[in-house]
Structure 1
Amino acid sequence: MTAVRDLESNPAEAVAIAVSYQEDPERAVDEIAARIGDTDASFVLMFIPHRMDRGALQTALTRMLPATAIFGCTTAGQITPRGYEGSAMVAMAFRRAHFRVASTLIKPIRPVHIADVVTQTERLAARFPATPGRRRLALIFADGLSKQEDILVAALEAGLKDIPVFGGSAGDGLEFNETFVLHNGAFYKDAALLLMLETDLNFRGLGFHHFMPTEKRMVVTRAIPDERLVLEINGSPAGHEYARLVGVPADQLSPIIFAENPVLVRSGNTYHVRAIQQMRQDGGLTFLSAIDDGLLLTLGRGKEIIRTLDAGLTVRDDADEAPDMILGFDCFLRKLEIEHKGLEHEASDRFRAHRVVGFNTYGEQHLGVHVNQTFVGIAFFRPRRESPL
């Protein structure tokens, strides 16, 4: 049997990774700094447990990593080199030899001013000219409770033009109170962090979910789009009509029912997931992405989530090499479904085998579209070496 080439036994070449399970922010940063402090890093990405004291963490970062450009966000869970975690602080130091970065903080984003975002994005791209022989991509981390990611990512797509955009919405566990992005070591809410990267590495974007459309259709007949709130489906109270189509009593609707029975929106030949966040007391359904009057929805049915995960993460470069590391943005509802089915160990095994590090999100951004219940990622391949003469 071939041994798993995981990140703990065989670290990534282009990115140094450190994980701390300390609850105290100062001790956590001390551990992180001890492991990546000597890395000549262009920048560090940090994925933060939602309950960690942000003020103490910000102070510790300033004191222990004063000269390091630090970005990231709060999360609904983490993916470490060992797989799924719930209270780990993850740090990824992107080596200067392989990465260059420019950043901008977009604040406020409630509401998004499209023209301003396009202008800000174009300015960032203009002061970050391309280097011959290198490739560029963008990462976006947004307040996951802003309800603005759909408009935001469309504006970014317009401003960045041919530069691909990937990202995840910041999380707050399963509490949905407030989420934060981390820009230059400081926390902000009602904000989005845009990073433009340039790298000499080959990379490949990933995006997949495990749902198929059923024959059960529904039409949004009354909604408040700005709130991502659906009040009526098929002319009936939204929660009750959704429960009827799923086949459960309305009073039994729960996050796991929503996770296992999402609604899908068709765009061409592709179905995107529109995840339900919760049912309100008045029977309305709040969603995690854009919704509108007259929108045609299809009830989704899941395929084998572990097999789909394994297949989606199995990528190769032109030289038939596996990735050095995959940066992953995985919807919290996927993790919820996996845990409910008792499959967390199998999922973690797949993440470990495919060298995935990242976090659980409140939404994912993939090539100009904000989606839910989807895994979005970037597979970075090992640095190319010159062939000996």
Structure 2
Amino acid sequence: MKFSVGKSSKRDFKEAVSEAAAGLVSPKLLLFFSDVECFEGYNEEIKGRFKDSIILGSTTFAGFCKDGAYKDSLLVMGIEEGIECYADVLEDANRYPLKYVDRVQQCVQKFGNTKNTVCFEISTALISCEELVLSTLNSILEDKEIPLFGGSAGDYGKAEKTLISFNGSIYRNACAFVIIKNLGGKIHLYRENIYKPTAHYFTATKVDERNRIVHEYDNRPAAKVVAEALNTTVEGLPKYLDSYPMGRIIGNDMYITANQMVTANNGMAYHARVYNNSQMVLLEPDDYKKVIHTTIETVKKDIPNPSLAIMINCLARSMLFEGDVYLNDFAKEMSSALGNYIGFAGYGEQLGQQHFNQTMVLAVFE
């Protein structure tokens, strides 16, 4: 596979793109990630320079590559050989993305076969669109057994504005997707949790799914139930919310659901949907460096010589690592398993049918 990853911290858009995309001529697929402030400027310059390429971009809290973690910077990955890919965009993502489902179908139909194929998607965040987007994409992808992974766009961590880009157009309410066939081997997908279950399990018994609010666990006010489990009061609960997310249990799998806030009526608002009768577990922090080491060793064993990799590392995880002065080391350590890779940090992660939070998702190409 022929590709390159580049970066630039220059704020002159032309100079930054020249530096980050040095050596790229006409990539089949170009991914780029940057801070919100310069995103539109970088996008315009990239659009003008790579008119024949499929281009997907997203705002991010930080960009990742083998050299480290970068804020207020532009990161670019251009793939010139070794893949076949087709892409499009789902608009009106928070209301009716299904209106554009034919765009997914048309992309899938262009492949002779879909062996060793994956769908990568980026959605704008802060508009609760992810579950609608996933159901739309998977209505086509699942029939062809094409797995999906992706993430929600990010910003500085203040939940103010996120943007994505598709082929030079900027969107505030959309999902850009690209279906990629690896011509050189398989594509492996991974999901990493750095939180572990406590002994406290609940059933969601009164739920506002669309607004991501659980009003009751086990027929009692949700905030009171969670507060009791943490041995605190409802008033004291907010200080625990970042460190003690919930886990939504589906079969043998557990997906992290990040707390948003305590609502006025002692409900709990979340950053991903919880469904009525969902089985939930209160989570607590695990030894994250040990977990990351295990992930690295697993990837190394599965794919000794990866060609490229794409990472989505949740914004909340990234902020945690940054607070521990570990974010840069984390990015470098991941390269021992991923090789030359690119990554971004946003407000949610997606894998298969599920949208979740505070997680790392990896796609590693043989």
TM-score range, shorter chain: 0.7 to 0.9
118-127 vs 180-189, greater mean Cα deviation: 118-127
Structure 2 residue corresponding to 1:37, chosen from 1, 11, 24: 24
Structure 2 residue corresponding to 1:49, chosen from 16, 32, 35: 35
Whole-Å separation in 2 of the counterparts to 1:250 and 1:83 = 40
268-277 vs 63-72, greater mean Cα deviation: 63-72
Whole-Å separation in 2 of the counterparts to 1:80 and 1:252 = 39
Give the TM-score normalised by the residue count of structure 2: 0.88
Where structure 1 has 5 or more consecutive residues not aligned to the other structure, the ranges are 1-12, 382-389
Give the TM-score normalised by the residue count of structure 1: 0.83
SS at match of 2:161: coil
Structure 2 residue corresponding to 1:300, chosen from 270, 283, 292: 283
Structure 2 residue corresponding to 1:289, chosen from 262, 269, 272: 272
Is the counterpart of residue 191 in structure 1 residue 164 in structure 2? Answer: no
- CA separation of 1:180/1:242 partners in 2, compared to 1, >3 Å: closer, same or farther? same
The alpha-carbon deviation at position 48 of structure 1 amounts to 1.8
Tell me the percent identity: 19
Structure 1 segment 1-389 matched on structure 2, within 5 A: 14-33=2-21, 35-38=22-25, 40-54=26-40, 56-95=41-80, 97-114=81-98, 116=99, 118-130=101-113, 135-160=116-141, 161=143, 162-202=145-185, 203-234=187-218, 237-248=221-232, 250-251=234-235, 257-279=240-262, 284-314=267-297, 315-316=299-300, 321-354=304-337, 355=339, 356-381=341-366
Matched letter for residue 119 of structure 2: A
- CA separation of 1:66/1:277 partners in 2, compared to 1, >3 Å: closer, same or farther? same
SS at match of 2:125: coil
Assess if the C-alpha contact under 8 Å between 1:117 and 1:152 holds in 2. Answer: no
Once the two structures are superposed, residues 225-251 of structure 1 have per-residue CA deviations (whole angstroms, 9 ceiling, x without a partner) of 211123444555544543442345555
The alpha-carbon deviation at position 17 of structure 1 amounts to 0.5
- CA separation of 1:119/1:60 partners in 2, compared to 1, >3 Å: closer, same or farther? closer
Instruction: Number of aligned residue pairs: give it.
Output: 360
The alpha-carbon deviation at position 280 of structure 1 amounts to 5.0
SS at match of 1:51: helix
- CA separation of 1:350/1:279 partners in 2, compared to 1, >3 Å: closer, same or farther? farther
Once the two structures are superposed, residues 118-151 of structure 1 have per-residue CA deviations (whole angstroms, 9 ceiling, x without a partner) of 44322221123338xx632111111122312123
- CA separation of 1:311/1:70 partners in 2, compared to 1, >3 Å: closer, same or farther? same
CA RMSD of aligned residues (A): 2.6
Matched letter for residue 46 of structure 1: F
Assess if the C-alpha contact under 8 Å between 1:259 and 1:334 holds in 2. Answer: no
Assess if the C-alpha contact under 8 Å between 1:229 and 1:285 holds in 2. Answer: yes
Once the two structures are superposed, residues 43-75 of structure 1 have per-residue CA deviations (whole angstroms, 9 ceiling, x without a partner) of 210012123252x33332233334433212112
Assess if the C-alpha contact under 8 Å between 1:278 and 1:285 holds in 2. Answer: yes
- CA separation of 1:149/1:252 partners in 2, compared to 1, >3 Å: closer, same or farther? same
Whole-Å separation in 2 of the counterparts to 1:353 and 1:278 = 37
Matched letter for residue 165 of structure 2: L
Assess if the C-alpha contact under 8 Å between 2:190 and 2:361 holds in 1. Answer: yes
- CA separation of 1:155/1:59 partners in 2, compared to 1, >3 Å: closer, same or farther? closer
369-378 vs 149-158, greater mean Cα deviation: 149-158
Assess if the C-alpha contact under 8 Å between 1:170 and 1:361 holds in 2. Answer: yes
The alpha-carbon deviation at position 168 of structure 1 amounts to 0.9
- Corresponding residue for residue 6 of structure 1: none
Where structure 2 has 5 or more consecutive residues not aligned to the other structure, the ranges are none
Assess if the C-alpha contact under 8 Å between 1:112 and 1:148 holds in 2. Answer: no
Whole-Å separation in 1 of the counterparts to 2:349 and 2:161 = 17
